[in-house]
Structure 1
Amino acid sequence: MLSSMRISKKNQPFVYGLLGLLALGLVGIASGGVDGSRINSIGKVGEEPIPVSSYAQSLRNTIQNISRQIGRQITSQEIAAYGLQSEALENVVSSAALSNEANRLMISVGDDLVAEEIIATPTFTSVDGKFNKEAYEFALENSGLDTKEYELQTRKAISRSLIEGAIATGTQTPPSHAMTLIKFAREERSFKWAKINKDFLSEQAGNPSNEQLKTHYENNNIIYTSPLSREITYVLLSPEMLSDRIEVSDIELQEEYDSQPERFNKPARRIVDRIIFDTLETAKKIKGQLDKNDISFLEAAEDRGLTINDIDLGDIEKGQLDTNIDEILFNASEVGIYGPIDTDLGPALFQINAIIDAQKTNFEDAKDELKAEYVSVESRKLINEMISDIDDLLAQGLTLEEIAKDTDMQLEKISYNNKTENGIAAYDSFRSEAMNAKIGGFPELKELSDGGVFALRLDELIQPTLRPFNTVKEQVVNDWQNAENKKLMLKLADELIIKLDNGSTFEALNLSAENVISTTRNKYIDGIPASLLGTLFSNKIGKTSKIDNDDTIILARLDSINEFEDKTDESKELLSQIGIQLSNQVTGDLLRLFASALKDRDGVILNQNAVNQINTQILGGTGF
């Protein structure tokens, strides 16, 4: 169907490199069955299969989106904690439910629409904005898809969009909804604030009597109770213990250095997003809104029907873009938004998300790092060679004390509780083993994350015990005085509030006050808890509030309220944009509910083993 689409080959090296990275992300994402056969789907909704490649790409996109939001690659543990696998799976199952419904309603589209959609896909467009058929086929081939299969997926996506469009019709939210949210976010407050501590007290808490101390001790006994403690004996063998056995010459290190030019000689790079506009006027208008923080770069893209993947140019080296663009992006010294810049595709705004300077590390500077890596790797190899012998000794019933005498392992003891974090207790595997150990249990050799190994024995469990009064008396005295001073500070704060509310100034009361001018409710202000801003936004002008802030009390008086001005052209444009976003959110909610109803009606069948295999390949094997 796309045989007539051709393009000049001048940009092929860059395009192939970019698409090759995208395509390689999917290489091997086809799970194998128990009989070695190829599994092409992870399940189905009704009669609509859910392709393996769709779930794999959904998971990758979900991970990449979160990573971009937090500014770093997230770990496998964070992926599990955020529930990203479930989110990605829910997305593809919902898409399959809509495709199944489209089939039931006999909704489909012609070849022309499919071709238009593929040609317009930014992923298959080179930097000059033209579709590259050979790169398109190359990417599909490396992702395990053929053009027929991909075009079928595109046809289904367009068919789904027709159903989504029908559901979205009439979901515009009332203007009052947008206005309420904007007023909440854009209203401003100006106030003065000061803090008092125990030094403001005319008389601080004195020395308590024994009776007062014992009363405080008894009323707060949980503070003075030692936690459940595990008395543990363990043997440890770490790579550092064997490092003095490893020798490496400068010649070997030089060879290792020479084999990694990309590591020690990195060109300057920029991580960039791009939005193309129809006209220069539109680009300038959006740039103005971005400069005023009225919208984010991603919101500007979403308003034009673009996703984060559509605008992402990725990691760019100098020379990959046109000269005029390179000059601006690589002469920039700060991250931010640049443009509009004229491109072959039209006026564009570029957002630099990260500036990575060229890095050149000579051999002498890299030698210590290379040596440490070499020693670490070789030490781990030595440990791996010893594991079998140590396991055999444990199996023969040798005690940990005997193991320490007969091997290179060192014998140690530790009193472990849920607050212990130093030494070997910093390792997750040790903490897990310590918490699960039983008295009289058989010590087993376990690995540490740095390549070390250990085995432990639980000798005794010491139950939580209220520490004797005499041993914690000094702490009780300090705690009692702090508690009494806090009561006096709160009382003083109430007295000062009455004076401030009746017209006294902070200065007249010897309070060193700071002015905060025109702040929104979600702004971070150093030294002020977020809860205080929430209180101030509920106050009337002239009212003073207090908040307990650890060892200080903060007093803040509201001076003025700045309402959101909704009559300006800028405000009207903002209201329109927020209204569109709210309508999109309502549409999204309706689509989720509709897809959920379809899944309940048509039934969902999942091959959990296939899902698990893909998760393992992406999260544990092939990386992100």
Structure 2
Amino acid sequence: MAARVTKLSKPFVWLLMGLLIVGLAGFGAVNFSGTSRTLGTVGDQEITINAYARELQREIRAMEAETGEALQFGQALQMGIDRTALARLVALASLDHEVAELGLSIGDENLQREIVQIEAFHDINGAFDRETYRFALDQQGIDEAEFEADLRAEAARTLVQSAVVGGVEMPATMTETLMEFLGARRSFTWAPVTAEMLEAPIPEPAQADLEAFHEANIDAFTLPEAKRLTYALLTPEMLIDQVEVEEEALRARYEELDARYNAPERRLVERLVYSSEEAAREAMAQVEAGGATFETLVADRGLEMVDVDMGDMTRGALGEAAEAIFSAETGDVLGPLPSPLGPALFRVNGVLAEQITPFEEAAPDLRDELAAIRARRLIETRAQDIDDLLAGGATLEELADETDMELGALDWTEGRDDGPAAYADFREAAAAVGVDDFPEVRFLEDGGIFALRLDEVLPPRP
């Protein structure tokens, strides 16, 4: 059930890790640049560099909160905190991959119920307030879609974890039997017997011997019942060459997905808000005099470090405090600076350089994406006409002659999943089709279409 970890971009990743270890100092300083955003994948689940940076910061802050002392990045590496952070992300990605494989989801209603119960999104009357919800997410630099996707994933992960942790307990009799077997010891003497030790080689079996063995083990040499199908298939991939994508469309799509390909420079920031400018100045004075650290100021307020962690923030998200924060070095404590909640002290925990993917680099992916979208739309527009041809009496062979659909044949059995049977929709239709059923157009999960006909049912046969 465990997912396989694949596609670790080794040259870039380990160079990046080396730079982290050698070049960064202070409170978990981070400075990532370049166009790669993925540290690795588990199945289909990506582990992004930004996620790793945030998780590493959380692990460091948790250790600082536990020890009450500031932790240098070099110390964190010696303690293996970087590996702990990565291991946690791999574990979460493994769960996310398993969730995706199982098709688990908590559904929109359950997601809404989870969100409205979070106190941080309540108004002064204790009821969920959408403006408060939006404001709180904006302060963390997260949009609603991203937050809700994370919450949905966390809830689905919990389902899988609960299923594993709360598994069926092994019966006592089975436990004792297995333990007795594993704990048993046996003494024996053995001697190898090889073909070279024979006085004469084993003769080739006669035809009669082969036939007798075949008859005695006929089940092992019998094909199961199968349905002989004829099908016509049309997938987006088959129409890609017919689809033209203009450069204007590519550039428009590039601009539409600007957030995917171009991330602005950001800072990993923590913020501690005070009720007045005077209180914030007094706290800053303690830090400058060495009488307090940012961690102790947070603890004195009865807060945890996670309560003041803003994550990665852009200039626009920081408002009037942006200039000072973006001019600071990693580890600097700044303030008092203005914030939407009042005067605050800020600490800069890391630098995330802008990540720019030029249009020329993004163009191949964009072209494939747009071509696939247009191919699916093209199939949608043709599906009704093709279905009308079938309703008018056209055969699958005639469809292949008059349309772009390709004709094929398949002896289908339960469990076969190659060729068109790789599609769940095709397998479902193949299982249900009868001799008297007329072909009809059905859609595949990738936007393709197919129609099939049962020619005959093949009985079990040698």
- TM-score for both structures, normalised by structure 2: 0.43
Which one has more relative contact order, counting CA pairs under 8 Å at least 6 apart?
1
- TM-score for both structures, normalised by structure 1: 0.33
